[in-house]
Amino acid sequence: MKKILAGLVVVIMVLYFAINKQESNTLVIYSALEQYRNDDLKAHLAEKFPDLNVQIMYMPTAKVAAKIQTEKEHSDADIVLGVETGYMEKMKDSLADVTEYSHLDYIDGMLPEHGKYLIWESYGGGFAVNMEILKKYGLEEPKTYEDLLKPEFKNKISIQNPKSSSTGYNFYLNLRNIWGEKKTLEYFDKLNDNVKQYSESGSGPVKLLIQGECAVGTALTYQVVTEINNGNPLKMIYPESGSPYSLDGVSVVKGKDDKGDVRDVFEYLVNEYLVYDKDHYNPGKILKGQKSEMENYPEDIKYADMTGIDDLGLKDELLGKWKY
């Protein structure tokens, strides 16, 4: 009897939430962006739409895709934000056509032809170094991937684990595209001797650099530049093959686009707030004529070969061969 009553309570709570959400001005965004960016977005939405109760729920990109694919139009989410394009492709049948919402001029070929999502950002990376640590140990700045194998970098490098970090996977995939799978796996076997820590998150190596625990780390450009602007002694270096990168997107859950509030918020997101986000957080270039307002952000970055970045089958195959 107790189990039955407990089950009824859960059902009632779910129904209450669903009814309350329909009758109230609540709008839900599933976001894979960093929490500080979600907090800023929520503040802007509260100011722009004071009569709306906008809830931004942080969720890893793969989990967003799994939930939307399962729940479809019955999802609590109205909008999904900051989800890697590979996962956007995976759940595209559960997304509305958002082609007509954007008034911005994207770089040619940046948007998917099917129109089920818009690009939110491009995030690329390279080698980040702590200049004080390099000086302390008399180390030269690494210029190539092979430089990271030098014995003087033993226990002084941090990279992301590609199984948990999309940043780590970007570097892994790029090397596979350059060298082939066999040489890439052999390279990481050698690099392992110099790695002090495999980070679970994309920002992990940057934190270790700031703490002075490592000399070199693979990192995203906008995260490193942010820390440089905060006064930390970091420098960004790009390998000759270019900056590994990936894209993420934003869309409306299919069936939720018939709500006026959802349409209004989404149009604001992809036309006004997107530009603000590029100016203040991640200036990675996605728009024609886009100029970075972020101090010290490098211009004319050469980007790497990221063929297969949206191929989740390839991703599963490569991650299955990762040892560390």
Centre a 10 Å sphere on the Cβ of residue 284 and count the other Cβ atoms it contains: 24
Whether this prediction's pTM lies above 0.85 is answered by no
Write the pLDDT tens digit of every residue in 13-48: 344 444 444 446 899 999 999 999 999 999 999 999
**Burial readout 91-130 (b: 16 or more C-beta within 10 A, e: otherwise):** bbebbbebeebbebeeeeeebbeebbbbbbbbbbbbbbbb
CB 294 within 8 A of CB 276: no
Q: Which domains does the chain have, with CATH numbers?
A: 2-122+247-280 (3.40.190.10), 123-245+299-319 (3.40.190.10)
Give dist(CA 216, CA 195) in Å, integer: 10
Give dist(CA 88, CA 94) in Å, integer: 10
Write the pLDDT tens digit of every residue in 213-235: 999 999 999 999 999 999 999 99
Give the pLDDT confidence score for residue 24 in this predicted structure.
64
The dihedral built from the CA positions of residue 59, 65, 70 and 71, taken in this order, carries a sign that is positive
Write the pLDDT tens digit of every residue in 258-314: 999 999 999 999 999 999 999 999 999 999 999 888 999 998 899 999 999 999 999
Residues written for the chain = 324
Give dist(CA 292, CA 173) in Å, integer: 27
CB 152 within 8 A of CB 271: no
Write the pLDDT tens digit of every residue in 92-151: 999 999 999 999 999 999 999 999 999 999 999 999 999 999 999 999 999 999 999 999
- The encoded tokens of residue 37 equal 């960016």
